[in-house]
Structure 1
Amino acid sequence: MRSTAAALPVRHALPALHAALAERGAAVLAAPPGTGKTTLVPLALAGLLPPRGHTAADPDGPVNGRADRGPDGSGDGGKVLVLEPRRLAARAAARRMAWLLGERVGARVGLTVRGEHRPGSRVEVVTTGVVLQRLQNDPELADVGTVILDECHERHLDADTALAFLLDVRETLRPGLRLVAASATADTGPWARLLGGPDARPAPVVETDAALHPVQAVWAPPERPVAPPHGTRVDPALLAHVAATVRRALAEHAGPGPNDVLCFLPGVGEIARVAGMLGGVPADVLQVHGRAPAAVQDAVLAPGERRRVVLATSVAESSLTVPGVRIVVDSGLAREPRTDHARGLGALTTVRASRAAAEQRAGRAGREAPGVVYRCWSEAEHQRLPPRPRPEIELADLTGFALQAACWGDPDAARLALPDKPPAAAMDAARSTLLALGALSPGGRVTGRGRRLARVGVHPRLARALLDGSAEVGARTAAQVVALLSEPPPRAAGDDLTAAWRSLRRNGPPADAHAARWRDEARRLESALSAVAHSSKPAAEPGAGASDDARAGTVVALAFPERVARARAGSGYLMASGTGAVLADGSALAAARPEWLAVASADRPAGAASARIRQAVVIGEDVARLAAAPLLARTEEVAWRNGDVAARQVETLGAIELNERPLPAADPSLVRAALRDGLRAEGLGLLTWTRAATALRERLAFCRDALGDPWPAVDDGALLDHVPAWLDAAGARRRADLRRVDVAAALRGLLPWECAARLDEMAPERVEVPSGSKVRVDYSGDRPVLAVKLQELFGWDAAPRLAGGRVPLVVHLLSPAGRPAAVTADLASFWREGYRAVRADLRGRYPRHPWPEDPARSPATRRLNPRRP
C-alpha cells in the first residue's frame, strides 16, 4: 500500500464506518473532497488495507493476499461495488485504487463503464448507468457484499434511481446487502432517512473532518457589467475576464513549489475559448471534461513537472482530485438540463452555480496547502446565489427513467424510495413517448419490446432507432449512426450529421478522442443488437443504391419522428410536432435549403419563436413517411377558410400537410360546425336581420333582463348554441345559404309556449297613446323608450309600465317637427313642472299647434289648430 494512503483523513473514520455497517448494514459517510472517501473506503471495506504499521511489502499485507478485516469482518461479504456518476470519475477512481495497491486496473480493482469491462476480484468501480443495467438483469447482485454510492450529493438521476433500486433489493431480496451513501457535503439528513430501513430509524452518519487548509476568497467581478447567460450562450466579455483573471492569478502567485491553477467553466466550448485566450502563459494549459482524451485525463490526475492551468467543467468539483492545485478561478457558471416536454426538445442551459457548488470549487485550492479562490463575481452577488443545485430529476427528460421504473415493476415510480419524486407532467410525457415506442402497454406495463429497448443501454428513442433501423439500413449502419447520436460530434463538425459520419468513417485509426469513443460505442451497440435481435429482423448492409443521407436520415427519423421537418413556404421549417425551426447561422445545410430534414438535435433558446436546428440529415419524403409512419393520418377537414366553408381531404405527417384534394360530399355535421365557426369569427351579421327580426330580438332581450327564466337568452353566445338547428332548417352548406335563415321565425321558436302567449303583454311592440296613435316602443337601449309628439299625450298622467309593472316606460316628448323636446318617466310631474318651459320655447315656432296652459286636462290631438277665417 502506498504511503500516501495512511495520511488520508478518512482512515480515522473507518472504525466507525465498520461498526455502523456491522450494526445496521447501511451508513452515510460525510467526507469532504480530498479526504480519501472515493479511494480508501472501498479498499477498506474490501479488506485490502494493511493494518496500521504494515506496508505494502509486508508479507502479512494485502499484496500477498491477506486482507485487513474491520470489526465486522469486512472483506468476507463479497465484492465492493463503487458507483460513480461519470465515466471520467470512475476511470480515475479505479486507476487511483489500483495504483495504491501497486497493481493495474483489472486485478483486484476493476472498472466497468460503457464500452470498457475489466472486472476486479475485490473492488469494481462502475458508472450508475451500468449498475442500473446490471440490477435489471441480476437484482440480487449475488457476488456483491457492499455498494458505495459515491458523490450522491450531486443528485444525478441515474444515481438517485440506482439508490432506490438498491433499497428495494435490500428490503425484499438481500437484507444482508450493505449500502454506503458517500457525500462530500454535510447535508446528510435526507440520505440517513432513506437508508434507515423499514423501522424508520435514520441510518448512522459517519463524518470525516476535512483536512482542508484555509482558502482566501478574492472577489474579482468584471469591471463592466456582462450579459447574463442565455441558453448555452455565455457573454464573450465574461470569458475574456475569466482568462484575464487566470493570468492575474498566475502573476500574483508565481512563487516556487506546486501552485497550479484550476479554472471552472460551464462547458467544453467555453473551455476551448478560454484556452485559446491563454496563449503564452508560463504554464501548461490542460482541458479536462467528459470528452477529453485518456492521455489528457491522466496528465491532469498526476503531478506535473511544469506549472499547469487546468480548465475544467463541474466534473472537478468533487469527483476528481487534481494534485498540485493551490489556486482556483471560478467563472461562477454551470450547466443544467432543461426539457420542453410539450415539444420533445431538450438541451443544456447555462445557469449561475449554487453557493454549495462554489464552496466545493473553492475547497479544491485547500487540499494540500493554504490556497486562494478568485471568484468572478461580487460578494453581494454571492449572497443571492441559490443555496444548492436542483436535482436532475426535476429538470431532465424522464423517458429513460420511466422505462427503468417500468422494467423494475413500478411504472409510476410510486413505491421507489427516491430523494425527490418525479414531476407528474414530466412522467406523463415520458410514458406517452414509451407508449408510442411500443415499450409500454396501454395499461402502463412494460412490454417485451420495452425490455429489449432497455437492454441496449441508451436512451429509449435511440434504442428504438437501433432495433428498427437495423431492419431498414443494416446493423452496422444503424449502430454507427446511433453511436453518433448518443455522443454528438464537436460543434466544429457543423450541423450536417451525414458529413460528420462520413468523416469519422474515413479516418481509419482513431484520429481523436471523439472518434475513438464513437468507434467503441458503435461496436458495443452492434453487439447489443445481436443480443436482442432475436425479436427484430436486422437487414443485411444495403448496397451502393442507398445514399448516406437516406441511411443516416432513416435512423435519425426513427429516433425522433416528431422532429421530421419540412421547409415552409417563406423561411424555416415546420417539424411534425408542430414546432417551427430554423437552421443556425453558418449552417452547412442552409445553402441547399433541402425540402425535408431529419433533425437529430435542436433546442429552443429562451424567448425564441422557433427552435434552432443543431444537427440534421437531408432526407426525402419517402424516408419521412417510413420513419414517422405512426404520425401519418388522412382526415376530412371541413373548416371556415377565407370567408366560406372549405371541404377537403388532407394527408398529414403530424403537423406537416403532405397533400390535399377537394371533398365534394362532406359530413353535414362538419359543415354545420364550420358555418358556426364562421358565424363566431365574423359575427351573426352573416344572417339576414330584418327590421322585424331585430326588433323581436330586442324585445326578448328586454324580457330576459327584466324577468329572467324561462325567457330565453338572445346574446350572441346563446344564439350560436342554436345555430346548428337553424342551419339544418335552412339546408345551409355555404356562406350564401346563411341569408336564407328566417331569423324572426327562429327567434320565436326559442320561446316556451307560456312566454310566447305573454310576449305582447310583457313587452308590447306598440303602445296606444291618448291621441289614438299606436306608437312603436324602442327596446334597443338600457330602458324601453316611447318617442311621441307632445300634443298626442295631453291628458295622460302616466305611461304604462312594462314587464308586469316592473319597468316604467321612458317617454321622449317630441316637438311638432319630431325633434326631442323633453325626456321623462313621470308625465304628471312633467305637466306640472317642465311643460311650461317647453311651451314657452316652442309655441312661437309652431303657432298652428295647440299649446294649452293645462295640458293634463286638454284633449290629445294629432291635428293642427283650425285656421282663422
Structure 2
Amino acid sequence: MTLQLPIHDVLDEIRKALEAGPSAVVQAPPGAGKTTGVPLALLAAPFLAGQKIVMLEPRRLAARAAAGRMAEVLGEAVGETVGYRIRMEKKVSAATRIEVVTEGILTRMIQGDPELSGIGLVIFDEFHERNLNSDLGLALTLECQGVLRDDLRILVMSATLDAEPVAKLLDDAPVITSEGRAFPVESRYLPLREPNPSRRDIEAACARAVSKGLVEESGDMLVFLPGAGEIRRVHERLQRMALPPHVDIHPLFGALSKSEQDKAIRPSPFGRRKVVLATSIAETSLTIDGVTLVVDAGLMRVSRFSPGSGMGRLVTLPVSRASADQRQGRAGRTAPGICYRLWNEAHTGTLTPFTAPEILHADLAPLVLELAIWGVTDPHELTWLDVPPQGSCQQARGVLQELGALDAEGRITPHGKAMSRIGLHPRLAHMLLCAKKMKLGPEGCLLAALLTERDPLAGSRKEADIRLRMEAMLARGRSEAPLNASAASRIKDAARQLASRLQIGGSPKESRHAGRLLALAFPDRIAMTRKGKNGLFQMASGSGVFLHEADPLAYEPIIAVADLDGNRQNARVYLAAPLSEEELEADHADRMAREEVVRWNDRKGKVEAVMRHTLGALTLSETPLKKPSPEALTDALIQGIQTRGLSLLPWNKSIRAVQARVLFLRNHAGFDELPDLSDTALATTTDQWLAPFLIGITSMGGLGKVDLAGALTALLPHSWHRKVETLAPTHMTIPSGARIPLDYGNGEPPVLAARIQQLFGLSDTPTVAGGRIPVTCHLLSPASRPMQVTRDLKSFWANTYPEVKKELKARYPKHPWPDDPLTAIATNRTKRKGT
C-alpha cells in the first residue's frame, strides 16, 4: 500500500528507529499525514509480532475521525482492523489491530492490565496539546515499559512541541522530522477597533471578517473562537446577516452530537461553501477538506485551578504563537490560502511560544487517584515531562481523603478503586456510588450527566438551580427557557450509560434530592447564607460565593454548589441546589465537629462562651457554654484587651508614675535588670503579666477591679521593690523645706519644678539614681510661671541669675531678690516679711 502523504518519506526511518530501540519521537506539521499514515505503516512491523497498536488522541472527535480515515484507507468499516474506544462509546472487534482511544481510556487499560498484554506499540498523537491525561498516560506507559515490558514500544508524535525534552524523557530517543506538505498562506491583519475589546466586540469582528471573506475570497472557511458560547452567538449573528444562499454555517466543538460534528467535517456538496465555527479542537487533530480561508480571533479558553481555593475556572487567554501558526496553517492544507488575524501584526511577537501544559494548572484529583491505584503516593516516583505541582497534589489528596478514596497515608481504599472504575471525576464517581446505596441511583446518573454535558436549558439568563434542569429532562420543567434538543439527547445517553455501567435500574423520578447528592460530590462547597445578606454565602471550605438577588436560590439558608467561577474571595455560583438541615445531618454527621469556643465579643465588650457545632468553616449552631474553663475566659479577655488596647485597664496617675520611674531607671540609669514596662512591651506580653490578676473578670466593665499597680509591681525583682523608692523617689525636699514631687514623664530623667526663692542656698543640682542622674530644674517665677530650665544650678546662679533678677524684680518688687542667692535663706513665702 502506497500512502500519498508527506509522512511517507520518513516512514522507513520511523520503522527502523522502533526496530532498534524502545521509543521514538516524530515531529510533523499538520497535513503531513502522521495520524493516518504512521499506524497503518507500522502494522506489519516485525517488532509488533502481531500485537496491537494503541494510538491516543486528545479528543473524542479526533479519535473517531482518525479511526474513520484509516478504515477508509483500508476499505473497511470502523471496528474491523481499525476501531476506536472513547468514553461511553466504542467500535472494536476481535479483528481490531489498531485502537484509537482517548487518553483516559489508556489509563484504564494500564490500571486493568499493567503489562498491556497484547499491545506492542503505544502512540501518543498530538502530544503538543499536553493534556493532563496524556502526561499521566505517558508516565504510566514509561513505568510499564521500564519495569514490566521492555519489548513495549512508545512513539510520541507532535506538530509543534519542542521535541528535544520529550526525546530526553524517552532516554534520548531518536527524533524523526517530517517537513509536511503545506501551501503558502497569506496573513492579513484585521485589528479590532477598540483597544480593550469586549466579548461583543470580538464576536462582531469575527462576523465582519466572515462576511468579508465570503465576498472577497473563495473556498471554505474555518473560524477559530474560544468557546461554545462565542460560537453560538457568532452563528446567530451570521444568520441575521445577508449571507449568500449557497453558504452553510456549522458549529464545531466537543459537546456537539456526533452527527453535528460530522456535518462540519464532511466536504461541502458541489456548488456550496461552508463556514465552520470551531474551538481549538480544529487546530491540529482534525482534517477539514476544502478550507482555504481561516479567521482567527486569537483567543483560547483553558481551565485554571487554584489549589488554595480548591476551585477551578475557565479563563480566556491569547493563544500561543505555536497555536496561531497551527491555525494559520489550516488554510494551506489543499491549496494556497489566507488567514485573517483579528489583531495587530506587532502583537504576534508578544505571544508565548507554546501553550502551558495542563498538568501545571489543572485539578489533579483524577491524577492523584490514578497514581494511588498504581501504588504511587508521591508523583516524583514516576517520570514526567513536567512534574505535577506539589500544592495541587496536596489539595487533590485532601479532596480524595474527604471523599473516602484515600486513607490517611494517601493509599487507595476499596471505595477509591470503585470510584476509579466509573470513569468520571472522583467527585461525581463518589456521588454515584453513594446515590446507588441511598436508592437514588437513577437521579444520581441524571445529575452526573447534567454536570458533564452542556447545559440543556437554552438562553443566556438562567437560574442556578440544577433542579430546573432535572425537571426539564423529566418533562416536568417549570422553566420558561426552552430545552436544547441536542444537549438533552446527549445527557439522556450519558445517564443511560452510567446507569448501565453501575447496574442501576429504573428511571429518575424527581429532583428534590439534587442538593443532597451535590453535597456528597462537593462537601467542601456546602454553603450557608451570611446573616442578613441575601445571596451571599460562605462555603465549608471557607471561601465566599454569591448568587444574584433575583435568583430564588439566593434566599435558601443552605445550598450545595456544583459550579462556580473560581474567584477565591467571592465566586459567582452557576449551578447549585438547596439542602435541608436534616439531609446535612444524615449524610455529613461524621464530618461535623463540636467545639467549645470562648471568645471576646468586641461589639458587646465582654467574653462569651458557646458550644459551636461546625462543618468545616461553617457554624451550624451555637449554644451557651455552662462551665467554660477559667483559663479560656482569661485568654479571651486578654484577646479583648489586645484588640482594644491597654487603655481598657484602670490606669491612674499613681500607677503611671510607677511605670515611668521604672522605665527611667532601666533606660537612663543603666539598670538593665529591670523589666521593660513600656506600653509597647506590656501590650505584647499581656498574657504573661496580667493573666493572674484577671481571674473571675469577663467584661470590659469588670476591668476596673484589676489590681494594676500590683500587676506591674509583681514584674519587678523582689529586691527592687524598695530600691525603686530610693533610686527614683517620688518627691524631693528642697532648701525651703518643701517636699516637691518629681515628674518622670514617660520614663525620662525627672523634672523638679520650684520657685527660684525656694532654692536659694542650693549650689549643686539635686540627683537621683544614686547620684548618677541630675534632675532637670524648672525654675519658676513667684507666680509659678516657668522662667528657666537647667541641669546645672551652680552655673545658673553665677551666670544667669543676675539677668533674671533684673527682669523679675521689676515685675515682682515685693519678693526677695538677694544679690547672693547662695547665702540667702530659701523661703516658701511669696512676699518679704512686713510687706
The answer, yes or no, to whether TM exceeds 0.5 is: yes
1:824 counterpart = 2:790? yes
Indicate which of 80, 92, 95 corresponds to 1:119: 92
CA contact (8 A) 1:787 1:814 kept: no
Letter in 2 for 1:783: E
Shift of 1:168: 0.8
Decide which of 609, 632, 637 is 2:592's aligned counterpart. 632
SS across alignment from 2:411:
coil
Alignment of 1:365-384 (within 5 A): 365-384=331-350
The answer as to whether partners of 1:477 and 1:541 remain within 8 angstroms in 2 is no
Deviates more, 1:832-841 or 1:461-470: 832-841
Letter in 2 for 1:594: E
Between the aligned partners of 1:621 and 1:294, the Cα distance in structure 2 is: 43
Equivalent pair of 1:565/1:599 in contact (CA under 8 Å): yes
Equivalent residue, structure 2, for 1:555: 517
User: SS where residue 278 of structure 1 aligns?
Assistant: helix
1:189 positional shift:
1.0
Letter in 2 for 1:752: P
Native 8 Å contact 2:765 2:794 kept in 1: no
Corresponding residue of 2:157: 182
* 1:41–1:739 distance in 2 versus 1, CA, 3 Å: same
Contact kept? 2:83, 2:99, Cα under 8 Å: yes
Aligned to 1:397, the other structure's residue is in SS state coil
| Deviations 1:544-572, CA, capped at 9 Å, x for gaps | 8xx522x2222111001122223332222
Residue 663 (structure 1) aligned to one of 613, 625, 629: 625
1:794 alignment partner AA = F
Q: Where in structure 2 are the equivalents of 1:386-401 lying within 5 Å?
A: 386-401=352-367
1:413 is aligned with what amino acid?
A: P
1:38 match: secondary structure = helix
- Give the Å deviation of 1:323: 1.2
Question: C-alpha distance in 2, partners of 1:389/1:300?
Answer: 26
Query: Could you say which residue in structure 2 is the equivalent of 1:714?
Result: 677
Could you tell me how far apart the structure 1 residues matched to 2:605 and 2:514 are? 45
User: How do 1:312-323 and structure 2 match up within 5 A?
Assistant: 312-323=278-289
- Equivalent residue number for residue 426 of structure 2: 460
User: Offset at 1:630?
Assistant: 4.0
Q: For 1:93 and 1:824, locate their aligned partners in 2 and report how far apart those are by CA, in whole Å.
A: 100
Contact 1:115–1:524 (CA<8 Å) still a contact in 2?
yes
Q: Which moved more, 1:493-502 or 1:355-364?
A: 493-502
User: In the alignment, what sits opposite 2:194?
Assistant: 224
Alignment check: 8 A CA contact 1:18 1:74 kept: no
Match of 1:756 in 2: 721
Aligned residue number for residue 570 of structure 1: 533
What is the aligned partner in structure 1 of residue 235 from structure 2? 275
- Once the two structures are TM-superposed, the CA of residue 522 in structure 1 deviates from its matched residue by 2.0
8 Å contact from structure 1 (residues 474, 541) kept in 2: no
Equivalent position of 2:6 in the other structure:
9
Which residue, 96, 99, 103 being the options, matches 2:69? Answer: 96
Give secondary structure in 2 for the equivalent of 1:309.
strand
CA shift, 1:771, in A, is: 3.3
Alignment of 1:204-353 (within 5 A): 204-227=174-197, 235-254=199-218, 259-279=219-239, 280-282=242-244, 283-305=247-269, 306-353=272-319
- Name 2:574's counterpart in structure 1: 614
The answer as to whether partners of 1:31 and 1:37 remain within 8 angstroms in 2 is yes
Letter in structure 1 aligned against 2:104: G
Question: What amino acid is the match of 1:647?
Answer: A
Say whether 1:162 aligns with 2:162.
no
For 1:260 and 1:786, how far apart are their aligned partners in 2? 97
Q: 1:543 to 1:485 in 2, by over 3 A?
A: closer
Residues 542/267 of structure 1: CA separation in 2 closer, same or farther (3 Å cut): closer
> May I ask how many residue pairs the two structures share in their alignment?
811
Write out per-residue CA displacement over residues 72-128 of structure 1, whole angstroms, 9 at most, x where no aligned residue. Answer: x25425101001111111111111111111111110111111101222521001111
The answer on whether the counterparts of 2:295 and 2:340 sit within 8 Å (CA) in structure 1 is yes
Q: How far apart in 2 are the matches of 1:158 and 1:630?
A: 33
Distance 1:704 1:266, change over 3 A: farther
Contact map agreement 2:519 2:561 (CA 8 A) in 1: yes
Give structure 1 stretches of 5+ with no counterpart: 48-68, 197-201, 228-233, 531-537
In structure 1, the partner of 2:16 is: 19
177 and 583 in structure 1: CA distance in 2 versus 1, 3 angstrom threshold: same
**Distance across 1 between alignment mates of 2:802 and 2:215:** 103
3-state SS of 2:502 partner: helix
Residue in structure 2 matching 1:861, options 818, 827, 834: 827
- Deviation at 1:806? 5.9
Mapped to 1, the partners of 2:814 and 2:369 lie a distance apart of 98
Alignment partners' CA distance in 1, 2:774 and 2:187: 83
Structure 1 residues 765 and 264, CA gap change in structure 2 (3 angstroms): same
For 2:660 and 2:79, the matched residues in 1 are separated by 92
Q: What's the CA shift for 1:376?
A: 0.7
Q: 1:131-170: CA deviations, max 9, x gaps?
A: 1111111111011100000111111111111111111111
2:656 is paired with a residue of what secondary structure?
helix
Distance (Å, rounded) in 1 between the aligned partners of 2:144 and 2:767: 84
Mapped partners of 2:615, 2:180: distance in 1 = 59
Distance 2:511 2:456 in 1: 20
**Offset of 1:34 from its aligned partner?**
1.2
* Partner Cα distance (2:529, 2:735) in 1: 77
Match of 1:844 in 2: 810
Q: What residue is the counterpart of 1:506 in the other structure?
A: 475
Task: Report if aligned partners of 2:634, 2:698 keep a CA contact under 8 Å in 1.
Answer: no
Q: How far 1:831 moved relative to its partner?
A: 3.3
CA contact (8 A) 2:465 2:576 kept: yes
Most deviating of 636-645 and 159-168: 636-645
Q: Which moved more, 1:652-661 or 1:342-351?
A: 652-661
- 1:583 maps to what in 2? 547
The whole-number CA distance in structure 2 between the counterparts of 1:851 and 1:321 is 115
Greater alpha carbon shift after TM alignment, 370-379 vs 293-302 = 293-302
Once the two structures are superposed, residues 527-546 of structure 1 have per-residue CA deviations (whole angstroms, 9 ceiling, x without a partner) of 4434xxxxxxx9x97998xx
Report if aligned partners of 1:78, 1:144 keep a CA contact under 8 Å in 2: yes
List per-residue Cα deviations over 1:444-481 (Å, max 9, x = no partner). Answer: 22222222222221111111111112222432222221
Cα deviations by residue, 1:249-271 (Å, 9 ceiling, x for unpaired)? 222214xxxx1111111100000
* Equivalent pair of 1:35/1:210 in contact (CA under 8 Å): yes
Alignment of 1:444-455 (within 5 A): 444-455=410-421
- CA drift of 1:425 comes to 1.5
Aligned mates of 1:803, 1:193 — CA distance in 2: 78
CA deviations on 1:17-57 (whole Å, 9 max, x unpaired) are: 1111111110010011111111111111113xxxxxxxxxx
Q: 1:242 to 1:715 in 2, by over 3 A?
A: farther
Q: Cα RMSD (Å) of the superposition?
A: 2.5
Which residue is equivalent to 2:480?
none
Letter paired with 1:669: E
Question: 1:820 Cα deviation (Å)?
Answer: 1.9
Give the Cα separation in 1 of the matches to 2:422 and 2:679. 59
Give the direction of change, closer, same or farther, for the CA distance of 1:390–1:160 in structure 2 (3 Å limit): same
Q: Note if contact 2:782-2:830 (Cα within 8 Å) is conserved in structure 1.
A: no
* C-alpha distance 455-273 of structure 1, shift in aligned 2 (>3 A): same
In the alignment, the residues of structure 2 paired with residue 9 and residue 507 of structure 1 have an alpha-carbon distance, to the nearest angstrom, of 56
Tell me what 2:124 maps to. Answer: 149
Instruction: Say if 2:147 is the partner of 1:172.
Output: yes
User: Helix, strand or coil: the match of 2:206?
Assistant: helix
Q: Bigger shift: 816-825 or 97-106?
A: 816-825
Amino acid in structure 2 at the alignment position of 1:582: F
Amino acid at match of 1:617: A
User: What TM-score does the superposition give when structure 1 sets the normalisation length?
Assistant: 0.89
SS in 2 for 1:6: coil
Q: Structure 1 residue 643 and structure 2 residue 616: aligned?
A: no
Decide which of 652, 664, 670 is 1:702's aligned counterpart. 664
Provide the C-alpha distance between the structure 2 equivalents of 1:363 and 1:617, rounded to a whole number of angstroms.
Answer: 46
CA distance in 2, matches of 1:850, 1:542: 115
* DSSP 3-state at the match of 2:573: strand
CA distance in 1, matches of 2:65, 2:770: 93
